[in-house]
Structure 1
């Protein structure tokens, strides 16, 4: 591991990041081509938060949050701090005091491939946090890592300046260069879903709206009456 702090990396447009956050993880993930989702293990510390921001990446040693302290200085308004450890850890590396420092700098939230603590305080503050664990176990501040380098979190490679979208459904990453495209695709997807929602409210079935009915026969699905079904089953 290179123990380096990269200063002021290029970031995606904050306008694009904000819009993607408003669309939400499910929409952005689908619009991007079903890529970039960080999986089901990353859960919000408290429900109802929704953010979109630009990644400041941190690589820490397990049980050591020194580099989060280093990373705070590199954060600016609209960022999301994204923390990975170089081997598995569930220790509570982030809590209320970090959130207070980050909020002062305009940071929108944190995503942790380790533990979070002070959950009640984070909820009361309204500071969004996603993590793979909740743990009161603390950490030390002893080992050098890296800030604003590519990191791997839950199977996804995240580069500094990528867009991070997070809500109750989890976390997704959009590469910096794809942010405008995925924003356009997300808008189109929302418009399509709005039209479908209105049609369903009027009683249309998904079988007909999505052209599924004509495919049922090809899939071997038959409609039979209850009495015919009993007869076929010999009951």
Structure 2
């Protein structure tokens, strides 16, 4: 795993197929996460600065030092159309390491968005230009450009390993990272889950209860849950 002593920029890593990434993104973060056995989720700490954005891309990873965005500058050069930048730091940092100028440079290169465990700023400008961002904080705190880190190496975000070229999907529900070798599995499992949800949706519209559709009455009984009237309940008699 990457440590602060690694000072490297890896060029031209293998990338996820963008057609597959686009198909996965259409399923949505929650569906893909559930379809893969409730895995690959990067945690509730990454929140969108905008509403309604849904995107996916091939990860370009960045490891910075706290308060220092030098390696983001280095990463811009490594980005291609269809990429999604994923940034973290060697220790926790909520400073505004990313803003509108970075987004302008990345948009010009066809980058689809940013996921960062740090803070971002210029959020009004980012929203106006339609550059989607998922971050841990919004902060006007500035940064320096003085310490070497790494680009396109494995990093850890929300307890999950994100490798360059993995499929990163993001929407209003958060962010998931699907390893390249699991993309085919994710496509099949997500389609199956979507069909299952569509069947359940149709049943609920007809009035069926989740208790019956998912056979949860037996679960309640096995757990010792009883049905009693309000008149019979002990609390009623106090």
What TM-score results when the alignment is normalised by the length of structure 2? 0.95
User: 1:95·1:119 contact (CA, 8 Å) conserved in 2?
Assistant: yes
2:122 corresponds to 1:118? yes
Alignment of 1:151-162 (within 5 A): 151-162=155-166
Provide the C-alpha distance between the structure 2 equivalents of 1:85 and 1:214, rounded to a whole number of angstroms: 48
Provide the C-alpha distance between the structure 2 equivalents of 1:175 and 1:73, rounded to a whole number of angstroms: 23
**Per-residue CA shift, 1:2-61, capped at 9, x if unaligned?**
211111101111111111111111111111111111111111111211111110000111
2:106 corresponds to 1:64? no
2:8 corresponds to 1:4? yes
Counterpart secondary structure, 1:57: strand
Counterpart secondary structure, 2:191: helix
Q: Which runs of 4+ in 1 moved over 6 A?
A: none
Alignment of 1:51-200 (within 5 A): 51-200=55-204
**Per-residue CA shift, 1:75-129, capped at 9, x if unaligned?**
1111100001111111101111111111111111000111100100111111100
Counterpart secondary structure, 2:8: coil
Provide the C-alpha distance between the structure 2 equivalents of 1:138 and 1:234, rounded to a whole number of angstroms: 62
How far does residue 233 in structure 1 lie from its aligned partner after superposition? 5.8
Counterpart secondary structure, 1:19: helix
Provide the C-alpha distance between the structure 1 equivalents of 2:152 and 2:120, rounded to a whole number of angstroms: 21
List gaps (5 residues or longer) in structure 1: none
2:229 corresponds to 1:228? no
Provide the C-alpha distance between the structure 1 equivalents of 2:221 and 2:38, rounded to a whole number of angstroms: 28
**Per-residue CA shift, 1:166-212, capped at 9, x if unaligned?**
11111111111101111110111011101100110110100111111
Q: Which moved more, 1:200-209 or 1:14-23?
A: 14-23
**Per-residue CA shift, 1:143-184, capped at 9, x if unaligned?**
111100011122111110011111111111111110111111
Question: Which of the numbers 9, 12, 19 marks the counterpart of 1:15?
Answer: 19
Count of aligned positions: 234
